[in-house]
Chains A and B, each alone.
Chain A
């Protein structure tokens, strides 16, 4: 059952080949057997999952089932789940039982999807390797001692290891796409404002966006269909109808114009990854697409601008974690200042502290213009580059990450080296565009992801373009050894 897609599982449930309860039991058993080594889950909610599956089975029997009814999924531990610990990968929230549900949690529940548990992640989504988690690193099922990418590393690893048919993720600078690439699965970061951020613990509010991680574009379309949509409790959620993402999956991509930005194929890109991406582009030519060379001239400024905007917003957002109303509180504070400082000093890990400090510095008196304002101006330049490109092409393609999965501990010493593993994904967040990663081949038996970037609210086209590729390739069906 664990090798089937959501589409197949859903018809299996409707035909009565198996029940949701059996399905959930099967995945819980796999988690129990295989996850102690991978560490992709922080919390497994077995009892609740079985109770919800029982309910879903009734609904299926009564004929009221939707495409996700009774389908198990793993929920990134950044989404609030009422009555269930929501840690965000941090000691700060280790004792935090969310008193309410996130908008996305509600939507998944209403659709009848069954939460298997909460997945491991970089602390407060700050990291590209899942090594900043308070709950320890996650392993990539494709190799010993390799990182799964981050920050949605647990979500990616769980789907790749077939511990869950799909998972939720969030993406602030590449946190859905980069781990999807490194774990050989399919993930989409929607347009900013497409998915509700209500109850999704904020990292950088102007960049954060939730989205699905699954094995195929078709499955991702089904999950996005449920996750997307207006929520008045998120002031930046966009009130626009959600198109039927599965309706256009089978459209021909004959004549599709693909832009290849030369800045995404230069220095820093592993030669074998480059060759793999070339082969994927060749496949698209065979499908009738036209390839156009384009330029996004301000690309190299994306990472520097991001490492001002994201820390600045994080230092502001994380000021709510002060040991007063929820979360970790230090022992025996002597006064209020001591309470704030020690609770935060003990509750946050190294990388989170670094980013709070950078952000506080960038926003402090006298530095605002030189850092935050400057970064917001660069952001406009990057966004304008994309606007010009989309006058010429329908989608933009590039590698998702410059290398395949790297070793645990390999990049933790130097923060800048770690930051560079997101160089191809960051600009998309700064511009607020939708972006996707699709399995496109292997280098030394490790997966490579192809990034597809679309214009605003063009998720249906991205999914269509990815689905057509998955009809003629089988990279997305490969299973890591030991997880068959």
Chain B
């Protein structure tokens, strides 16, 4: 499975990850090698095998729908890059 430069750029866009044009060929090569390696999975027929999502196959624990955490907005926003009036700031989204 060989990935081309255009595909690498497309995936990088999907992942919202900037990679420089100069690095794209190296990524294409490495990612293609990894996909080739992963290809070994196809050496076995798994059509009758149920996928295993969780090692212990325990049901998801449920809890009552009650507020259990107190509001710690100031504490959590103390590590934010840019905050104003209790809001996280980002560049303008709507003109």
Question: How far is it, in angstroms, between the C-alpha of A322 and the C-alpha of B50 when the chains are bound?
Answer: 35
Chain B residues 6 to 54 lying within 8 A of chain A, measured CB to CB, are: 7-8, 11-12, 14-19, 27, 30-31, 33-35, 37-44, 46, 49-54
Known A-B contacts A336-B91, A380-B52; the reply to A304 vs B27 at CB < 8 A is no
**A305 smallest CB distance to B (angstroms):** 6
Please give, as numbers and ranges, the residues of chain A lying within 8 Å of B78 by CB-CB distance.
97, 99
A65 close to B (CB within 8 Å): no
Chain B proximity mask over A325-365: 1 for CB below 8 Å, otherwise 0: 11101000111111111101110100001101110110010
Q: Which residue of chain A lies nearest to B72 when distances are taken between CB atoms in the complex?
A: A99
A442 to B27, CA, bound (A): 38
A211 at interface (Cβ–Cβ under 8 A)? Answer: no
> How many residues in B have their beta carbons less than 8 Å from beta carbons of A?
52
Residues on B with C-beta less than 8 A from A322 are 16
Q: Is B55 an interface residue (CB 8 A)?
A: yes
Instruction: Compute how far the CA of A211 lies from the CA of B8 in the bound complex, rounded to whole angstroms.
Output: 36
With contacts A342-B18, A378-B41, A381-B44 taken as known, whether A236 is within 8 angstroms of B88 at the C-beta atoms is no
Is A361's CB under 8 angstroms from B55's CB? no
- Count residues of A near B (Cβ-Cβ below 8 Å): 72
A51 interfacial contact with B, CB 8 Å: no
The answer to whether residues A304 and B38 also contact, given A344-B16, A353-B17, A432-B55 and a CB cut-off of 8 A, is yes
**Chain B contacts with A in 56-71, Cβ cutoff 8 A:** 56, 58, 60-61, 63
Contact B18 A344 (CB under 8 A): yes
In Å, the complex CA distance between A305 and B49 comes to 14
Q: Which residue of B lies closest to A430 (CB)?
A: B55
**Shortest beta-carbon distance from A181 to chain B in Å:** 23
Residues A378 and B46 in contact, CB atoms below 8 Å apart: yes
Answer whether A329 and B46 are a contact pair too, CB < 8 Å, given A304-B38, A364-B14, A378-B41: no
- Separation in Å of the A472 CB from the closest CB of chain B? 33
Q: Are A334 and B91 in contact (CB under 8 A)?
A: yes
Is A236 a contact partner of B54 (Cβ separation < 8 A)? yes
A141 close to chain B: CB less than 8 A: no
- Complex contact B51–A380 (CB within 8 A): yes
Contact B56 A348 (CB under 8 A): no
| A464 lies within 8 A of chain B by Cβ | no
Whether B52 lies near A415 (C-beta < 8 A) is no
Write the nearest CB–CB distance from A229 to chain B, whole angstroms: 15
Tell me, yes or no, whether B86 is within 8 Å of chain A by CB.
Answer: no
A366 to chain B minimum Cβ distance, whole angstroms, is 12
Chain B nearest CB, measured from A408 CB (Å): 20
- State the CA gap A456–B55 with chains docked (Å): 10
- CB proximity to B under 8 Å, residues A279-334: 298, 300-301, 303-305, 307-308, 315, 319, 322-327, 329, 333-334
Contact B18 A341 (CB under 8 A): yes
A431 at the interface (CB under 8 A from B): yes
A300 partner residues in chain B, CB cutoff 8 A: 40
**How many angstroms between the C-alpha atoms of A338 and B39 in the bound complex?**
34
The reply to whether B17 and A345 form a contact with Cβ atoms under 8 Å apart is yes
Choice from A238, A308, A341, A375 contacting B56 with Cβ under 8 Å: A238
Q: Is A254 an interface residue (CB 8 A)?
A: no
B residues within 8 A CB of A14?
none
When distances are taken between beta carbons in the complex, the residues of chain B under 8 Å from A301 are 40-41, 43-44
> Closest B-chain residue to A357, C-beta based?
B11
- The interface centre, meaning the residue of B27, B34, B63, B92 with most chain A CB atoms within 10 A of its CB, is B34
Pairwise interchain contact B55-A375, C-beta atoms closer than 8 A: no
> With a CB–CB cut-off of 8 A, which chain A residues contact B31?
354, 357-358, 361
A95: chain B residues at CB < 8 Å are 79
The yes or no answer to A376 lying at the interface (CB within 8 A) is yes
Complex alpha-carbon distance, A85 and B54, angstroms: 32
Contact A325 B52 (CB under 8 A): no
From A99, A348, A379, A416, contact of B34 by CB (8 A): A416
Residues of chain A in range 180-195 having any CB-CB distance to chain B below 8 Å: 191-193
- Among B40, B51, B52, the one with the most A-chain Cβ atoms within 10 Å of its Cβ is B52
Once the chains are docked, how many angstroms separate the CA of A61 from the CA of B90? Answer: 53
> In the bound complex, do residue A305 and residue B17 qualify as a contact, i.e. CB atoms below 8 Å apart?
no
A305-B41, A364-B14 known; A358-B34 Cβ under 8 A: yes
The 8 listed contacts between A and B (C-beta, < 8 Å) are A235-B61, A319-B16, A324-B81, A324-B88, A334-B91, A335-B92, A340-B16, A383-B52
Question: 6 closest Cβ contacts across the A-B interface?
Answer: A432-B55, A345-B18, A376-B51, A377-B46, A329-B81, A380-B52
Which B positions have Cβ atoms within 8 angstroms of A? Answer: 3, 7-8, 11-12, 14-19, 27, 30-31, 33-35, 37-44, 46, 49-56, 58, 60-61, 63, 72, 75-82, 88, 90-93
12 more contacts with CB within 8 A, not counting A337-B16, A373-B51, are A325-B77, A327-B81, A334-B91, A344-B18, A357-B27, A361-B3, A361-B11, A374-B42, A375-B38, A377-B46, A378-B41, A381-B49
